[in-house]
Amino acid sequence: MVVEWADLAGSDLIVVGILVAAAVAPYVSAARGETSLALATVLSLMLVAFVQFAHSILTGIPMHFAWMIDLFGIKPDLMGDLSESYRMVSAAWLHADWVHVLGNVLVIALVGVPLEQRLGGRRWLAVYFLGFIGGNVAWILSHPESSAPAIGASGAAFGLLGAYMACWPEDKVEFPLLFLIRAWPVWLIVFIRLGLEVWQMYELQAGTAGESNIAHMAHVGGFFLAYILARPIA
């Protein structure tokens, strides 16, 4: 499916407005000092996912097949056109399903909140943006002719891990919802998560993992760009 702005009906434009409002509203609250940027980001992603889910229920179209994925996701073959550059940001607020979004917000909540306490709000937001921009660029460079849209905040989530690893690898991350798990040092979380990512990429290259719709290069790109630039930012 190829969707262009000219194809949108009036009702579709209303949905776009609701998506934007859902994404922005939590940051308005954060700007007023009512919540942290990390928690505002979690709420923003969840609200956008709820709008996607509601649209899916009302139309009968699965979240990952909706027109908004094609319109707002990263499509490497289009990214040479400056008019499509909005996708570099919009793609990071859409997800394919609830498992996708919950996996990302879990990392952003558990790792992002203590990292924001270390960095401060503005620096944290800079790292978050570096994560998804780095992820998007890595995906575009590694799949330059792909027309399939890539979405999700995974690059940003990995960027938070990369920044934390670069600056405070010995900090321990609490798991308040999983009280049976002790606090883990950042370096151990990174070792396990990034190790799994590299292993999955190896299996794909070796042809032993079958097909995958996960943008592993985006995860790695987000991690390393934030890792490299986190110290100057901090």
User: pTM higher than 0.85, yes or no?
Assistant: yes
* Extended strands (E) in the chain: 172-173, 184-185
As a whole number, mean pLDDT of residues 91-95 equals 97
The answer to whether the beta carbons of residues 124 and 185 sit under 8 Å apart is no
pLDDT at position 20: 97
137-186: per-residue pLDDT in tens? 999 999 999 999 999 999 999 999 999 999 999 999 988 765 657 888 99
Q: In whole angstroms, give the CA distance from residue 160 to residue 175.
A: 16
Instruction: List the structure tokens of 100.
Output: 């996708």
The answer to whether the beta carbons of residues 124 and 116 sit under 8 Å apart is yes
From the list 137, 154, 53, 140, the residue with the least C-alpha distance to 100 is: 154
180-219: per-residue pLDDT in tens? 578 889 999 999 988 888 888 877 776 665 566 777 889 9
Instruction: List the structure tokens of 96.
Output: 């394919």
pLDDT at position 140: 96
From the list 95, 76, 77, 87, the residue with the least C-alpha distance to 5 is: 87
Q: In whole angstroms, give the CA distance from residue 34 to residue 50.
A: 22
Q: In whole angstroms, give the CA distance from residue 21 to residue 36.
A: 18
Domain that holds residue 196: 5-233
pLDDT at position 215: 79
Domain count, the chain: 1
From the list 148, 156, 28, the residue with the least C-alpha distance to 92 is: 156
8-52: per-residue pLDDT in tens? 999 999 999 999 999 999 999 999 988 899 999 999 999 999 999
CATH number at residue 21: 1.20.1540.10
pLDDT at position 179: 61
Query: Residue 120: pLDDT above 70?
Result: yes
Query: Residue 54: pLDDT above 90?
Result: yes
pLDDT at position 65: 87
Residue 159's CB: how many other CB atoms inside 10 A?
31
**Chain-centre distance of CA 160, in angstroms?**
10
